């Protein structure tokens, strides 16, 4: 049936029996496709009926559908004519998130959470100002993303408007992991309210619908706005904001979903529709096992859900191990996470020291400022977060942590090029941003040994923020230093006599620096490759390391024109050094999704391209 669906209009003539068959087919396609490419499987399996209902009730793209985070947009892609998932998240294939370049039905490409309601509020107000009063804007946001403060800022603003906005809260009780905090407790209370007895089968691991929705007496409702107002009740925390509320709705009942969404659409003012779904629905491994394990998967065996290739020992595992060891030695260490306990490596620490872990939900700003408060109270907070998500809390790093000289350690996972998740997930901005923070110290370890050492050294700093950044994926063998010059480690010395070229590799790019040195040495050059674990402030011994080199080459997986290499070059020039510098990093642009290796080659960060440019400068 899916081959018959070229656009959302094709859904509207289907019977409910055909819709049921289509939903099952879509789930089969998702499992088959994502198992081959990797991607966000669980969130999409949970929103099949919801997505079909949205496209049957609303007229996309005239009515705008805004997906928060975008993890759950695969079904939307399928019913808007994008059925070829063979290249999902690969260069030239479909993005793992909504993409304006792919379809007029896509609006927001930013996969950072808690933004959809603000987008919808702005779009709806724009439509109203243009006199387009027949257009509705829909924000689809999960209960996990609703823990973000920005979502509540938007709700507060929307409640004071009459704009045509429908907020669909996709409540599966989880983000990457079970949703936590006061919001989660409130939603739990709504789920078990006796007025909504149709959800008697809701359990910890399974979802079973044992009844029909009777909340709004759908089959006896009179049409018209006046009747609709009588049906919409203010519920709990939404009442204080003045928002109309419908729900909870069985997120896997096509009839109930469409009836509720039509009511919300016809009301003509902001309405929140509370939809209960099951993450990973219809896929037995996800239903029988931990559904969060299937939030995002690599290549898996579709029958079992087991990975085709076992993950190698990675950077995150090293941090997780060292964090646990440090926690056993120091009672003042407290961990903070923004709804990503397991992905950033804090799960082992949380299991042993649950009282010393704070999961704030998707609220990075709150995490950072509360860490400053913890430091003031005599603790040493460790904020573990993906590098791309620290962007959301830069002001708090600057004004709450650095200004107050708070001893807070930031562990930035997935720093540098991450690749297949696309523009919003590359951790390429952190060094360029953080180099402007007074007093901040930044480490970029090159291997397991230097990651462990840098983390321990960061924990000893109690009067300034410290940052340790490391990439996504497997970790290679340790790279020993031949000798040390101040705070720099010399990794290779090739050729005869003093170094004509010095290649400085930052963090995970240290192996590339060694490879560049080898290629230049093969051309008869005298070359040194070196690195520093602590890259900011400028490491002691830099000038001595440079010596009388004619050319200095820097290699980093951050922005080229605002990064560590530029800062080191400026320092050398102010000291009177006249060597030429050649900086290699990531250009100031948003990178299309592709593998890390493909992006490295495209931006000229591979050893051959760097060596070729250096040789051209020397010649």
d(C-alpha 205, C-alpha 184), whole Å: 16
Degrees to nearest 5, angle at CA 158 with 156 and 161:
125
CA distances from 341 to 179, 319, 344, 346, 347 (A): 11, 13, 6, 5, 6
Q: Please give the DSSP secondary-structure letter assigned to residue 596.
A: H
* Residue 279 a catalytic site member: yes
- At 178, the pLDDT band (50, 70, 90 cuts) reads low
Between these two residues, 537 and 206, which has the higher pLDDT value?
A: 537
In the set 392, 435, 536, 596, the catalytic residue is 392
DSSP assignment string, 347-384: HHHHHH-GGGEEE--S-HHHHHHHHHHHHHTT-EEEEE
444 closest CA partner among 311, 582, 563: 563
The 3-state DSSP composition of the chain as helix, strand, coil percent (nearest 5) reads 40, 20, 40
- Beta-strand relationship, 357-359 and 409-413: unpaired
- At 190, the pLDDT band (50, 70, 90 cuts) reads low
Between these two residues, 595 and 227, which has the higher pLDDT value?
A: 595
206 pLDDT above the threshold of 70: no
540 near 592, Cβ under 8 Å? Answer: no
H-helix segments, 466-606: 510-522, 542-546, 564-574, 596-602
pLDDT tens-place string over residues 387-417: 999 999 999 999 999 999 999 999 999 999 9
In the set 64, 164, 279, 596, the catalytic residue is 279
d(C-alpha 247, C-alpha 528), whole Å: 66
Lowest mean pLDDT of 295-309, 455-469, 565-579, 582-596, name the range: 295-309
106 pLDDT above the threshold of 80: yes
- Every domain of the chain and the residues it spans: 2-294, 315-469, 483-618
Query: How many CB atoms are located within 10 Å of the residue 214 CB?
Result: 12
* Residue 364 a catalytic site member: yes
Between these two residues, 322 and 92, which has the higher pLDDT value?
A: 322
H-helix segments, 244-384: 254-267, 284-288, 315-329, 347-352, 364-376
Task: For domain 315-469, give the fold.
Answer: Rossmann fold (3.40.50)
pLDDT tens-place string over residues 243-302: 889 988 999 999 999 999 999 999 999 999 999 998 888 787 887 766 667 877 778 777
Tokens of 505: 């590799």
CA distances from 441 to 279, 330, 382, 539 (A): 40, 22, 14, 11
pLDDT at 213: 33
pLDDT tens-place string over residues 522-561: 999 999 999 999 999 999 999 999 999 999 999 999 999 8
216 pLDDT above the threshold of 50: no
In the set 364, 500, 515, 556, the catalytic residue is 364
DSSP bridge pairs for 527: 494, 501
- At 231, the pLDDT band (50, 70, 90 cuts) reads very low
pLDDT at 296: 76
pLDDT at 220: 30
Lowest mean pLDDT of 64-73, 348-357, 563-572, name the range: 64-73
Share of the chain above pLDDT 70, in %: 88
Task: For domain 483-618, give the fold.
Answer: Rossmann fold (3.40.50)
Interval 513-523 mean pLDDT: 97
475 closest CA partner among 435, 432, 508: 508
Task: State the binding site for Mg(2+).
Answer: 143, 172
Interval 213-227 mean pLDDT: 32
pLDDT at 19: 94
**Would you call 400 helix, strand, or coil by DSSP?**
helix
pLDDT at 181: 63
Q: According to the 3-state scheme, what is the secondary structure of 453-505?
A: HHHHHHHCCCCCCEEEECCCCECCCCCCCCEEECCEEEEEEECCCCCCEEEEE
Task: State the binding site for thiamine diphosphate.
Answer: 71, 111-113, 144-145, 172, 283, 364
pLDDT at 501: 97
CATH code reported for the domain at 2-294: 3.40.50.970
d(C-alpha 115, C-alpha 68), whole Å: 6
180 pLDDT above the threshold of 70: no
Lowest mean pLDDT of 26-30, 141-145, 215-219, name the range: 215-219
pLDDT at 253: 93
- At 179, the pLDDT band (50, 70, 90 cuts) reads low
* Residue 570 a catalytic site member: no
Same fold, 315-469 and 483-618: yes
80 closest CA partner among 100, 593, 280, 253: 100
- At 423, the pLDDT band (50, 70, 90 cuts) reads confident
- At 199, the pLDDT band (50, 70, 90 cuts) reads very low
pLDDT at 282: 77
534 closest CA partner among 584, 605, 460, 472: 460
224 pLDDT above the threshold of 50: no
270 closest CA partner among 374, 181, 154: 154
195 pLDDT above the threshold of 50: no
Task: State the binding site.
Answer: 71, 111-113, 143-145, 172, 283, 364
- At 320, the pLDDT band (50, 70, 90 cuts) reads very high
Q: Please give the DSSP secondary-structure letter assigned to residue 134.
A: T
């Amino acid at each position: 049936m899916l081959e018959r669906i070229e656009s959302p209009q094709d859904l509207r003539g289907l019977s409910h029996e055909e819709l049921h068959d289509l939903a099952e087919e879509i789930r089969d396609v998702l499992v088959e496709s994502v198992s081959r490419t990797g991607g966000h499987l669980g969130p999409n399996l949970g929103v099949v009926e919801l997505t079909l209902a949205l496209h049957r009730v609303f007229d996309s793209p005239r009515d705008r559908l805004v997906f928060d985070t975008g993890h759950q947009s695969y079904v939307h892609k399928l019913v808007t004519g994008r059925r070829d998932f063979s290249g999902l998240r690969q260069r030239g294939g479909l993005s793992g998130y909504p993409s304006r370049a792919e379809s007029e039905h896509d609006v927001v490409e930013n996969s950072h959470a808690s933004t959809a309601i603000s987008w919808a509020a702005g779009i709806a107000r724009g439509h109203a100002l243009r006199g387009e009063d027949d257009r509705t804007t829909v924000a689809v946001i999960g209960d996990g993303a609703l823990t973000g403060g920005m979502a509540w800022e938007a709700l507060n603003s929307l409640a004071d408007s009459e704009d045509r906005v429908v907020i669909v809260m996709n409540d599966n009780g989880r983000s990457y992991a079970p949703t936590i905090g006061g919001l989660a407790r409130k939603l739990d209370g709504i789920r078990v309210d006796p007025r909504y007895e149709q959800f008697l089968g809701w359990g910890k691991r399974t979802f079973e619908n044992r009844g029909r929705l009777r909340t709004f007496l759908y089959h006896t409702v009179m049409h018209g706005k006046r009747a609709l107002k009588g049906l919409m009740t203010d519920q709990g925390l939404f009442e204080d904001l003045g928002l109309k509320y419908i729900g909870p709705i069985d997120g896997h009942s096509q009839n109930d979903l469409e009836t509720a969404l039509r009511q919300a659409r016809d009301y003509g003012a902001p309405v929140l529709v509370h939809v209960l779904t099951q993450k990973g629905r219809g896929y037995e491994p996800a239903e029988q096992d931990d559904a969060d394990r299937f939030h995002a998967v690599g290549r898996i065996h579709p029958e079992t859900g087991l990975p085709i290739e076992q993950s190698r020992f990675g950077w995150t595992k090293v941090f997780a191990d060292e964090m646990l060891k440090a926690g056993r030695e120091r009672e003042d260490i407290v961990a903070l996470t923004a709804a990503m306990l397991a992905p950033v490596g804090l799960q082992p620490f949380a299991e042993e020291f649950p009282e010393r872990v704070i999961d704030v939900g998707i609220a990075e700003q709150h995490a950072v400022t509360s860490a400053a408060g913890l430091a003031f109270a005599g603790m040493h907070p460790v904020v573990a977060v993906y590098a791309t998500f620290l962007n959301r809390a830069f002001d708090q790093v600057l004004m709450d942590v650095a200004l107050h000289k708070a001893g807070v350690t930031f562990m930035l996972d997935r720093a540098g090029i991450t690749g297949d998740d696309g523009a919003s997930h590359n951790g390429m901005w952190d060094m360029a941003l953080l180099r402007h923070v007074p007093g901040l110290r930044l480490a970029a370890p090159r291997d397991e040994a230097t990651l462990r050492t840098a983390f321990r050294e960061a924990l000893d700093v109690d009067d300034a923020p410290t940052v340790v950044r490391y990439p996504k994926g497997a970790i290679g063998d340790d790279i020993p230093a031949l000798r040390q010059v101040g705070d720099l480690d010399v990794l290779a010395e090739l050729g005869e006599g003093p170094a004509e070229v010095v290649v400085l590799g930052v963090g995970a790019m240290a192996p590339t620096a060694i490879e560049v040195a080898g290629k230049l040495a093969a051309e008869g050059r005298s070359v040194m490759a070196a690195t520093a674990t602590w890259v900011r402030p400028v490491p002691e011994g830099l000038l001595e390391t440079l010596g009388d080199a004619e050319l200095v080459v820097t290699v980093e997986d951050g922005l080229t024109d605002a990064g560590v290499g530029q800062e080191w070059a400026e320092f050398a020039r102010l000291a009177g050094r006249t060597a030429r510098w050649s900086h290699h990093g990531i250009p100031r642009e948003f990178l299309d999704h592709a593998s890390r290796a493909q992006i490295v080659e495209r931006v000229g960060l591979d050893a051959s391209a760097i060596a070729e440019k250096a040789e051209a400068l020397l010649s």
